[in-house]
Structure 1
Amino acid sequence: MRGEDHDWAAGIDGPPATRRAAKSRRGPGRAAGARKTAASEPSRDAPSDTTSEAAPADRPARRSRAPRAGRDAGPDTSERSGGTEAARERPTRPERPARSRSASGSGSGDDAPRRTRPGADLPPPELVTDDRALARLCEHLGTVDDIAIDTEADSFFSYRERVCLVQVSTPAGDWVIDPLAELDLAPIGRVLADPTRRKIFHDGEYDVLLFKREHGFEFSNLFDTRVAAAALGYDAVGLAGVLERHFGVVLDKKQQLSDWSKRPLTDEQIRYARLDTHYLVELTAQLEALLEERDRMPIVEGECARLEAMEVPDRSFDPDEFMRLKGARNLDLTRMQVLRELFIARDEMASARNVPPFKIVPHGALVEAASRRPRNARELEQVGGMSRKLVQRVGKQLLDAIERGRELGPLEQAPRLPAKDGTDRLDERGTELHDRLKTLRKKLADKEGFDSSLAINRRTLLDLAAKAPTAVGELDRIEGLLAWQIDAFGEAIVRAIATFQRDWENGDVQPRRGGGRRRG
C-alpha cells in the first residue's frame, strides 16, 4: 500500500514501474497520430477511477465472519521478526490482545474511540523467510474466511519496482512475508485466486496491479476497505483516517517512504508494515454492517469486481512523454527536440542504474536545460537543480543529448499525447456530451453522499458519451454499468443525454476549442 499519489509514467511525477524497452527511442518526434497511451498508477488517497474496468463476475456468497472454533491459533511458522535481530524459534504463541471495538464506527461525539498509538502492546508479527514457513501460513489461510493483505514496494528507489514485502493478517495473528528471501510466492497467488476466501485490501488497486505485473496472479473475492469508506461518504478514506475513526489509533507515517528493499528490516519498518493489515479484518466487519444498513454493499461489490478484472497497463517507455513535464509546452519546437533527447538520455541512465528517472535529474532541471541549451559543464552548472556533483556524474551524457537535439533540429510539431480522461477517443460531439455527463455524475454522487467515481467510473462514462443511449433499456449495452447504477441513475442519465442531443441540434452547445481532442 502506498500513501502517496503519483503519475508513474516514464518517471514524470514519481518512480516507474516495470517498463519494456521502446522499439524506437531516438529520432524526430512522431508524426501526428502515432503515440502510445501513458500508464499511470491510481491514487492511494482518493477513490479510484481508472480506465481499465470490467463488469463484475458472479461473486460467491459471503460466509460468516465469526472466528471458528479451533482456528484461532494460526500456524507455527517457527520464525518471528525482531527487526535487526535474527529470527528465532518460538514454540508457543502468546495470546493476542483484544482489539478495541467501535460498533458504530462514527468516531465522533461520546462514542468516539480513544486515540492511541498502536503496535507497542502487540506481540511481534511472524516473519516468513522460507518456503516451508510460507506453506504453513498458506495452510492456515485455507481455514479462515477473511484474509487481510498488503504489499510494500521499492518504487522510490528502483527503475523497475518489485514487491519487497507482503503483509498478511487473520484473526489469529499477523505475518510479514519477505519475497526478497528468494521465496516462491505461488502459494500466495493461489490464496488470492481462491473464490472461497475473502481477501481484504485497503486501496488495493496498486497492490493488485503490482501482483499481476510481477507475478501474474489472478484475483477473486476482494473487499477494499477504502472503497467501502468512500461508499459510506467518509471525508478521509486513507487508512490512517479510517483507522482513527473506527479504532482511535493514530498511525505513524514516518516509514511511508522507506526503502523496503534494504535488509535487514528495522523494528520500525516491521511495526509500520504489520499495522497496514492488523485492523482490516475487524474494520471490514464494521464497514460491512454500515454498508448493509445503508444498502450500499452493491457499490462496493461492483468496484471490487472491477479491481479483480483489471488489466496491467502498458509501461513501455514513450519518448514523447516529455510533454507531460511541467513547462514543456512553453518551449518552442527547437527546444522541445532538445528536451526530448534529454528525456531519452535520462531514462537510459535510470534504467542502467536501476533508479527512478527523477533521481538522475530533477524534472524542472531537465526542462530548464532544454530551454538554456548549455554547451559545457560550467554552463550546465548554472541550470537550476544541476549541482556540481550531479554535473560531474551525468554532465557528459546530458551535454551529448543537448547536442543531438541541436543536430536534429526542431520538431515538425509538438507531440499530442492521449488525454488522461480518455476523451481523445471521442469526436467533438462526444466530448461535449462527456463534459455534461461528468457534471451530472458529480450532482448524482453529491446527492447520494459518496465519491463521483463510485457513481459512474471513467471508462463507463466514456462509453456513455460514445454510444449516447436515450432509453433506459439501452443502458444494458454500456460497458461496466451495473444494475444498481441503472436503477439509481438510469432515468437521469438518459434524460441528460436527450437534453444534450436537443441542445446540440439547436446549436445551443458551444464546443470547446480543439474539438474532441485535447492534450493530456
Structure 2
Amino acid sequence: MSTPPPAYAYIETPEGVLALSRELDSVDRIGIDTESDSMHSYFEKVCLLQISLPGDRIFIIDPLRVKDLSPLKARLEDPAVRKVLHGADYDIVCLKRDFGIAMRGTFCTMTGGLLLGLEKIGLADMVERQFGVRLAKAFTKSDWAARPLSTGQLEYLVQDVQFLIPLAEEVDRRLREADLVEEAAIEFARLEERQPAPREFDPWGFLRVRGSRALPERGRAILRALVAMREEKSREIDRPPFKVIANDTLLRVAETAPESAGRLRSIKGISPYVMRRWGDDVLEAVKRGLADPETVPDRAPPRVDGEGDGERRMSFAAQKRHGRLKEWRTEAARKAGRTTLAVLPNPAMFDLARTPPKDLAALAAMPGVGAHRAKLYGEEILRIVTPKRG
C-alpha cells in the first residue's frame, strides 16, 4: 500500500538551520539521508539533506541555498545520539567532504540487514516488508541540483527518511535477538572511518570500457587518448564523462580510427551536437593514438600500493592462511546459520592472514574482530592461522 507522506519543513536560510539545531538538541535519534548530483555533474556535491526526528518531524535542508551547516555539526558528531541511515557509507563520505561533519553514533539499516542475512536489503524492500508501504522510487536519478523541486520529488525526499527511525528499531531488535550487537557496532564504526577521496583520473581506466581488450593495440592507444580527452572536457563543463561521449561511442571511434570529419560524423553516437562541440578534439585524440609510440597492453599493470589490492600484497604464506580462513568462514557460517559477514568480515580476514595474532586477547583487539567473535570462534581461528599452536 502507499501512504501520504507527513508534513515537512523546507530549510533554505541560516535562521532555519539554527532553528533545526535547537530541535536536534532535544532528541536522541536522528534519521538522515542525502541527495547528490553525481549522475549530472563531474564535481559531485550534496544538493539536499533530509532529517527525520521522532514524531514524524521531517526537515529538508537545501545546502545550495544555505551553505553553512555548522550549527548541526556538534549534534551529528555526538556518539550519544543515534544517527540512522540506509547505506550509510555514501552519506558519511559526502557529509565529511562537503561540510566537514564526521558522523558518530551511526546505525546503518542496510548493514544491519546484511548481518542478519536478509534476502533484500534495499530501503524500499525493507520498508515494504516491515510496514507494508511501497516507497516511490521514480526520482532516484533526478538532477537534485535543479530548482525548483517538483511535488513528486519532495514526496520522494520525505519518504526516504520517514521510516528510518522505526525501521532501525526493528533491525536493532533483530540484531539483539541474533546476538549480533557487537558485530553491528564494529561495522557501523568502520563505516564512520570512511574518508572522501579526491577525484583522480585513472590512466588505465580506458580498459574498463567494455570491449576495450578486444581492440588491437593501436585501437587501445586511440581509446586511451579518447578517454583522456573526454575526462578533460568533463572537468571543464562539470558534466559526468558518460554525458559527454558514451563509452560505446568511444569504442566505435577507436575501432574505426577516423581521420576526417566526414568519417567521424558517420559513426553511431557522434551526434551533431558532439560533432559541433568536440569533433576536432576527437579527431586530434585519434591522431595522438595512432602516433603513440608506447606499447598499450590489454591489462593494467599490477598495483603496488593503495586500497583494494590486499590479496596481491600478501605473501604466499599469508595467501594460504587467507584461503584456509575463507573456507573455515563459509563452513562456520553454515553451521551457525549466520552470514559470513557476521562470522568474520573481509578486512579482518585479510589482517588475520597477514599478521596472525598470538593469543585470544590479541585476536579480540584486532580491528573488525572484537571480544564476541574471539569468544565464539577464537580457538578455531588461531588454529588456522597458527597451525603449530598447542
Asked if Structure 1 and Structure 2 have the same fold, meaning a TM-score greater than 0.5 normalized by the shorter chain, the answer is yes
For residue 390 of structure 1, what is the aligned residue in structure 2? 274
2:95 paired with 1:174:
no
Change (3 A) 1:132 1:473: closer
The alignment of Structure 1 onto Structure 2 pairs a total of residues equal to 384
In structure 2, how many angstroms separate the alpha carbons of the residues matched to 1:401 and 1:343?
9
- Conserved 8 A contact 1:164-1:260: yes
Q: Aligned match of 2:326 in 435, 438, 445?
A: 438
Scaled by the length of structure 2, what TM-score is found? 0.90
In structure 1, how many angstroms separate the alpha carbons of the residues matched to 2:342 and 2:208?
27
Q: Aligned match of 2:42 in 126, 134, 159?
A: 159
2:153 paired with 1:269:
yes
For residue 213 of structure 2, what is the aligned residue in structure 1? 329
Amino acid at match of 1:270: L
Question: 3-state SS of the aligned residue for 1:181?
Answer: coil
- Conserved 8 A contact 1:138-1:187: yes
Change (3 A) 1:447 1:421: farther
Where does 1:123-162 land on structure 2 (aligned, <5 Å)?
Answer: 123-162=6-45
Change (3 A) 1:176 1:477: closer
For residue 465 of structure 1, what is the aligned residue in structure 2? 353
Deviation of 1:384 after TM superposition, in Å, equals 4.4
Deviation of 1:147 after TM superposition, in Å, equals 0.6
- Conserved 8 A contact 2:84-2:164: yes
For residue 167 of structure 2, what is the aligned residue in structure 1? 283
Cα deviation 1:233-264 (Å, max 9, x = unaligned): 21111101110111000111101111111111
Amino acid at match of 1:463: D
Amino acid at match of 2:237: R
Question: 3-state SS of the aligned residue for 1:316?
Answer: coil
Change (3 A) 1:485 1:199: same
Tell me the C-alpha RMSD between the 2 structures: 2.4
Amino acid at match of 1:133: G
Cα deviation 1:167-210 (Å, max 9, x = unaligned): 01111311111111133111222221112211111111100011
Amino acid at match of 2:7: P
Cα deviation 1:482-512 (Å, max 9, x = unaligned): 222222332333333456x99xxxxxxxxxx
Deviation of 1:336 after TM superposition, in Å, equals 2.5
Where does 1:297-336 land on structure 2 (aligned, <5 Å)?
Answer: 297-336=181-220
Give 5+ residue unaligned stretches, structure 1: 1-115, 503-520
Where does 1:38-117 land on structure 2 (aligned, <5 Å)?
Answer: 116-117=1-2
- Conserved 8 A contact 1:470-1:495: no
For residue 373 of structure 1, what is the aligned residue in structure 2? 257
For residue 410 of structure 1, what is the aligned residue in structure 2? 294
Amino acid at match of 1:303: E
The higher-RCO structure (CA 8 Å, 6+ apart) is 1
Change (3 A) 1:426 1:188: same
Amino acid at match of 2:262: R
- Conserved 8 A contact 2:180-2:342: no
Instruction: Name which of structure 1's ranges 295-304 and 490-499 shifts more when overlaid on structure 2.
Output: 490-499
In structure 1, how many angstroms separate the alpha carbons of the residues matched to 2:63 and 2:302?
37
In structure 1, how many angstroms separate the alpha carbons of the residues matched to 2:214 and 2:68?
49
For residue 343 of structure 2, what is the aligned residue in structure 1? 455
For residue 113 of structure 1, what is the aligned residue in structure 2? none
Instruction: Name which of structure 1's ranges 229-238 and 416-425 shifts more when overlaid on structure 2.
Output: 416-425
- Conserved 8 A contact 2:116-2:339: no
Cα deviation 1:15-53 (Å, max 9, x = unaligned): xxxxxxxxxxxxxxxxxxxxxxxxxxxxxxxxxxxxxxx
Change (3 A) 1:403 1:340: same
Amino acid at match of 1:162: K
Instruction: Name which of structure 1's ranges 445-454 and 370-379 shifts more when overlaid on structure 2.
Output: 445-454
2:219 paired with 1:219:
no
Deviation of 1:436 after TM superposition, in Å, equals 4.0
For residue 93 of structure 2, what is the aligned residue in structure 1? 209
Change (3 A) 1:190 1:254: same
2:231 paired with 1:347:
yes
For residue 115 of structure 2, what is the aligned residue in structure 1? 231
2:71 paired with 1:187:
yes
In structure 2, how many angstroms separate the alpha carbons of the residues matched to 1:389 and 1:411?
33
For residue 243 of structure 2, what is the aligned residue in structure 1? 359
In structure 1, how many angstroms separate the alpha carbons of the residues matched to 2:22 and 2:214?
58
In structure 2, how many angstroms separate the alpha carbons of the residues matched to 1:398 and 1:443?
54
Instruction: Name which of structure 1's ranges 350-359 and 382-391 shifts more when overlaid on structure 2.
Output: 382-391
- Conserved 8 A contact 2:6-2:158: no
- Conserved 8 A contact 1:333-1:410: no
In structure 2, how many angstroms separate the alpha carbons of the residues matched to 1:497 and 1:244?
43
In structure 2, how many angstroms separate the alpha carbons of the residues matched to 1:427 and 1:326?
32
- Conserved 8 A contact 1:222-1:304: yes
Scaled by the length of structure 1, what TM-score is found? 0.69
